[in-house]
A = this chain, B = another copy of it.
Amino acid sequence: MCRWAAYLGDAIFLEDVIAAPSHSLIVQSHGAKEAKSPISADGFGVAWYGDRPEPGLYRDVLPAWSDTNLRSLGRQIKSGMFLAHVRASTGGATSRANCHPFVSGRWSFMHNGQIGGFEKIRRALENSLSDTLFDQVEGSTDSELFFQLMIGEGLAQDPLGAVSRATSRVLDAARRAGIEPSLKLTAAFSDGRALHAVRYATDEHAPTLYTGAFAKGVGRCIVSEPFDRDGRTWHEIPQSSFVTMTRDSTSIKPFAPAAVQLALAG
């Protein structure tokens, strides 16, 4: 189980989310409270939006708690939109290319969860990518591939729809491979303007997702688990939800795999 946190609002130092809170993302990397395993020490990453439309990206393979560069970058870089992640591998090697967030053009993406039976359907999913998207894959994780599926499904035009259709493709691929569809998907992604998140699973146990105010009027967060309880209110987002956060609003919509809803229910 990975842990992640995303921020949208006035520019703050990255460390204000990553390192400073009492139950910061770095603390969660060795002491998560709402994850199956308390440890997410297989690398980390942060994508932040600044002067360019494309985000900056810093990822490395050490546990987040011991990376001196992360500490310094967190103290120095201010951003009004960033995604930060600490990784607990569900299979892929510990390498920079397998660390979240993944970036493609303006988009960044990070994930907590797993595509069940990924090794059995990876090739079919990869084959379904366009040449352009295929060439963008750098690592070997299910998460990065899901991100490419989302892009292929029109992420830029229709975020909710794209995730919904990508989900269906994963479930379909499992069925075609003769295995039980299994997906845990608690993910966040952004194009630098809006911040989106999804909480979904094929069973009843989608990884947790919370929203909360960062500080009165300053900004808001979407997180795997609350990073403090210092008077802050956190809202648990129910399973099968899609969250979209902008500077002015937070919307929560129901989420389900596209098209195959009936089939799943049947």
Contacts and interface: CB of A to CB of B under 8 A. Distances in A.
Interface in A176-223: none
A42 B140 CA distance: 21
Interface string A56-79: 111111110011110011011110
Contact of A93 (B52, B66, B94): B66
Given A76-B51, A93-B68, A62 B62 contact: yes
A30 interface: yes
Nearest to A57: B72
A76 B52 contact: yes
A167 interface: no
B89 A93 contact: no
Contacts of A95: 95-97
Contact of A63 (B42, B58, B59, B135): B42
A121 to B, nearest CB: 11
Contacts of A54: 75
Contacts of A68: 93, 96
A89 B89 CA distance: 22
A234 interface: no
Contacts of A134: 123
A158 interface: no
A60 B51 contact: no
Contacts of A230: none
A228 interface: no
A41 interface: yes
Contact of A41 (B39, B55, B57): B39
Contact of A58 (B73, B89, B96): B73
A48 B76 contact: yes
A131 interface: yes
A152 interface: no
A255 B77 CA distance: 37
21 contacts: A30-B39, A30-B41, A41-B63, A42-B66, A52-B75, A54-B75, A56-B73, A58-B72, A59-B69, A61-B66, A62-B62, A62-B94, A63-B94, A66-B89, A68-B93, A68-B96, A69-B96, A93-B97, A122-B135, A123-B131, A123-B135
